[in-house]
Amino acid sequence: MELREFELVQRIIKLLDIKEVDDCAILPFGNEYIVITTDMLHKSTDFPDSMTPWQIGWMAVAVNLSDIAAMGAKPCGVLMAIGFPRNISLQFFEEIINGMNACAKRYNTKVIGGDIDTHQELTLVGNAIGIVQKDLIIKRKGAKVGDLVCVTGNIGDAAAGSVALEVLKNDYNIPDNIRNTFTTALFEPKPRVKEGMALAKSKVVTSMMDISDGLAISLHELARINKIGFKIYWNRVPILKEMKDIFNLQKLLELVLYTGGDFELLFTVNPYKLEHAKRACNFTVIGEVIENGVFIEINGVKEKLDDRGYEHVRQKVQKL
């Protein structure tokens, strides 16, 4: 059988008797919650040759802070374990540390410790810690039929960056300045920490999660957790004009809906409190919560949205 990440995670949840799944683990601490997350990145799957060591360090911290942002929490610190091959240069290693430090500082936190060891390939495992008032935390569960579906930022920029790395310069006719915009979005993602905290303080967001694995797969995840559905309107999804100029509709759909890499927030809001949410940060309403099914309307035609996106684990295994 083919083991997908979702099925493997579900098995772990059952074995460990985990009651609630969110972007972070949640620990009560007086009138607040401590939220903790971890992410692992590898050279072979996450760090293309054109990625600088500084960008590697930045990415390793950013991917963890994005989970903290999805809970509406304030980052308190990051721990980083680094496994490196014996032939790594001191300059390369120090630039990784500089990138980590730069990302942490950008979001008003620090790298507070970690571990190092030799490894077959460059591997970074981060743990981010955040804190949020109990009455402000935003979880994945809470969306209700009639709520509006919203996203921060533009969707698909990072996915376009992956295409820009793979094709010859004349393919898709990507100008150099636009190519740089796309690859920067891929290599130096900006977690929405400030936006997450502001949305939490608004107290009008009913559910939220990070969409780094892709918009479609994230919608399906929220639908499963909340036992509801979604209807998304393609013409409302925020996409850079340059992407629309470069890619045809079929390619755009793949990049925007399924490829992932955007460290944006997907959230739902009570429609009667939308104006209050708008005072928290900039975002785009892209659809609404319905009773069941996950659909997208494209040029007036409603279609089912596939449950797929970026998966960290997908391999053939013997059935357990």
pLDDT value of residue 317:
38
Q: How far apart are CA 148 and CA 171, in angstroms?
A: 38
| pLDDT value for 4 | 67
> Along the 320 residues of the chain, how does pLDDT read in single tens digits?
556 676 787 788 788 877 777 889 999 999 999 999 999 999 999 999 999 999 999 999 999 999 999 999 999 999 999 999 999 999 999 999 999 999 999 999 999 999 999 999 999 999 999 999 999 999 999 999 999 999 999 999 999 999 998 865 546 778 888 999 999 999 999 999 999 999 999 999 999 999 999 999 999 999 999 999 999 999 999 999 999 999 999 999 999 999 999 999 999 999 999 999 999 999 999 999 999 999 999 999 999 999 998 754 444 333 33
Fold (topology level) of 2-133: 60s Ribosomal Protein L30; Chain: A; (3.30.1330)
Contact 69, 109 (CB under 8 A): no
DSSP structure string for 233-295: EGGGS---HHHHHHS-HHHHHIIIIII-----EEEEE-GGGHHHHHTT---EEEEEEESS-EE
Quick one: pLDDT at residue 309?
84
pTM exceeds 0.85 = yes
Domain boundaries, the chain: 2-133, 148-316
- Given a contact cutoff of 8 angstroms between Cβ atoms, the answer to whether 138 and 70 are in contact is yes
CATH fold for domain 148-316: Phosphoribosyl-aminoimidazole Synthetase; Chain A, domain 2 (3.90.650)
**Two tokens, residue 22:** 């969110």
